[in-house]
Structure 1
């Protein structure tokens, strides 16, 4: 079966890929993406504000393409162009025509390369969870779970430039790998685990002195403590001093919810357990799903926040794209003190490096 990389955007190429599936029915390779506008609060259609976010618009995203769904991360580019990454190794791109509720110049295409387990379906074992883009060079970085690794791709994902399986990540849970990444102004990269416990509370994270896709790049460790009961799903730089952090939670009693918060970059340092200050909580009756992808753009002096959801390829969930304006001013909620949410409050304040086998050095 011939798959067409429908890269109509100027920054993406057309690449044919052949799959041999035997007698199985031909997959749907549709390149059409449909946007359906949503109401933020069905019980109060006039509601526009939640916390420090002003709702500007939202859409349900659908496509007949069999590989569409599972959005785990995204990048907002100039002119309302979006690049989304699915956890099955699929790229989804389109230009958002907000007033017409249309996806212009859409494409749905597989990543050109990535890690895989030796058995079973190759791409289904990629589990791509995080995405970074350098607009100056056009390069992209992708973080993978299961096969814990960081890969760098060239401009337009034309080729694989580097890959690294950091030893410090190999003991992370299979489903708790590189859930979020940040590229700091000073050139360092931060990689956050969703589920690898930090011995002093929260979850493990790594600060790479350089490009994490290069095997020579060294990492030091710190911790990140999400809001209680939540797990980190994505992060994006807000400015040169702070970052927005996206978290999600699901309980049978309360259903799904998400918290957006602000963290200070200075707190992401070896031996420290960083926290963040919530600025908004999305929960029913507000429109919310499994919120996993986060991006920021600018509209004059306004900061525009984009949040997308991972539907887990389930008919019971939706792929949402929500647009907000972030109100100016500092968050007013007090930072949580890790020692009050940590069973090991009397332990030492953290760790900064690793043993030779990749285990934590205390």
Structure 2
């Protein structure tokens, strides 16, 4: 068997163990991170197409750069939710081990080249201490309600003990929570590892301020994917048309009032796949069945892993950039990747974020 096929087989076996609900948790740290701590993040550049590094156009997106991330901490990994500040300079990510990561993004022009000033810290319980019960630490989705990645308030969704909580945070602390958001109708039957996986807050247009949430792989009566509009002018259920048995893993807002949805599919016979869909603002309506536009679909012949987190920001030039991260499930055979793509209708730029 060629070396590349050996590698893909190993990744497929790792994902088979990691995506099978509770076995994935065996690799997680047994206890919460006790306090914030600095972490050095080493990187190795990656190309999306390993066999053709000069290729940059994929589907309807333009690949900017990608990095494989490494850090000497048992708590580094498992990243399932992501936010990027409006300048594209600061990252805030949540791990499904109940930890947060903040880091600054370093660019060479518009090409991401490193992560600096890394800090890992615990998500706090109502008593101000790190979440101790493993069933309470499984944070999966995050959407900024106010502020930015340095200080503000975020909605955070959790699996196993399903809930959406409001978390004030700053550079040193994430929490304690400032209450919870009532779960919408239709969430009572969610499985332990099939909770609200994706959330984002619409930032413009008629639904500005609405929290959009999707459950992972939870099908409506029609077999499509169940979602909700929470708060805002027209709260209620929405449905995302299921294409090819993909599950939703994250979502992010777009400057025009639309959203982008990140999806994943895994099968033993084919490995892992990912998809990115853009949903126009006009499609997002209470009771609607939403199809959206596929921007990119990729299998593991490309440089992907278990892609679970996505965020967007608009560069000063007007270009909208999508940033993706993978969840390595704390499995040594998987990777923590970060990569950036430009939207196809973005204005070409000669330089990205600068200091």
Question: Per the shorter chain, which TM-score range?
Answer: 0.7 to 0.9
Equivalent pair of 1:235/1:294 in contact (CA under 8 Å): yes
Q: Where does residue 283 of structure 1 map in the other structure?
A: 299
Q: Flag the 1:51–1:135 CA change in 2: closer, same or farther, 3 A.
A: same
Separation in 2, partners of 1:323, 1:160: 31
What is the aligned counterpart of 1:222 among 210, 230, 238? 238
Would the aligned equivalents of 2:275 and 2:296 in 1 still touch at CA under 8 Å?
yes
Gaps of 5+ in 1: 7-29, 212-217, 330-362
In structure 1, C-alpha distance between the alignment counterparts of 2:229 and 2:314, rounded to whole Å: 27
Structure 1 residues 222 and 320 mapped into 2: Cα distance closer, same or farther (>3 Å)?
same
Q: Residue by residue, what CA displacement relative to the aligned partner does 1:81-122 show, whole Å, maximum 9, x if unpaired?
A: 10111111110111122349432211011111279xxxx961
Pair 219,88 (structure 1): closer, same or farther in 2 beyond 3 Å: farther
Give the number of the structure whose alpha-carbon radius of gyration is greater.
Answer: 1
TM-score between both structures, scaled by the size of structure 2: 0.77
- Tell me which residue corresponds to 2:92: 83
Which residue, out of 196, 203, 212, partners 1:178?
A: 196
CA distance in 2, matches of 1:98, 1:61: 15
What is residue 109 of structure 1 aligned with on the other side?
A: 121
**Corresponding residue number in structure 2 for 1:16:** none
8 Å contact kept, 1:88–1:125 = no
**TM-score, L = length of structure 1:** 0.75
Structure 1 residue 167 displacement after superposition: 6.1
1:109-258 equivalences under 5 Å are 109-113=121-125, 122-123=133-134, 125-133=136-144, 134-135=146-147, 138-156=152-170, 157-166=174-183, 168=185, 169-184=187-202, 185=204, 186-210=208-232, 220-258=236-274
Separation in 2, partners of 1:98, 1:302: 15
Structure 2 unaligned segments of length 5 or more: list them.
1-30, 347-355
1:125 & 1:183 partners in 2: Cα distance? Answer: 23
Shift of 1:166: 2.1
Change (3 A) 1:79 1:245: closer
Query: How far did residue 195 of structure 1 move?
Result: 2.4
CA contact (8 A) 1:89 1:110 kept: yes
Higher relative CO (Cα under 8 Å, sequence separation at least 6) belongs to 2
Count, aligned residues: 296
2:246–2:264 contact (8 Å) kept in structure 1: yes
Shift of 1:310: 0.7
Name the SS of the counterpart of 2:152 in structure 1: coil
Paired residue for 1:68?
76
Deviations 1:163-205 (Å, cap 9, x if unpaired)? 1452632221221111111212422212111122201231221
Question: Which residue does the alignment assign to 2:42?
Answer: 34
The answer to whether the 8 A contact 1:74-1:82 is kept is yes
In structure 1, what is the Cα distance between the partners aligned to 2:259 and 2:335? Answer: 26
Q: Return the alpha-carbon distance in structure 2 between the equivalents of residues 148 and 114 of structure 1.
A: 16
1:305 counterpart residue number: 322
Instruction: Report the equivalent of 1:97.
Output: 106
Structure 1 residues 167 and 187: CA distance shift in structure 2, 3 A = closer
Distance 2:310 2:223 in 1: 24
Contact 1:58 1:322 in 2 (8 A): yes
Counterpart check, 1:323 vs 2:331 = no
Change (3 A) 1:167 1:328: closer
Match in the other structure for 1:5: 36
TM-aligned CA distance change 1:79 to 1:288, over 3 Å = closer
Separation (CA, whole Å) in 2 of partners of 1:70 and 1:35: 17
Residues 201-229 of structure 1 show CA distances to partners (whole Å, capped at 9, x for unaligned) of: 31221222259xxxxxx952222223222
Tell me if structure 1 keeps the 8 A contact 2:135–2:161: no
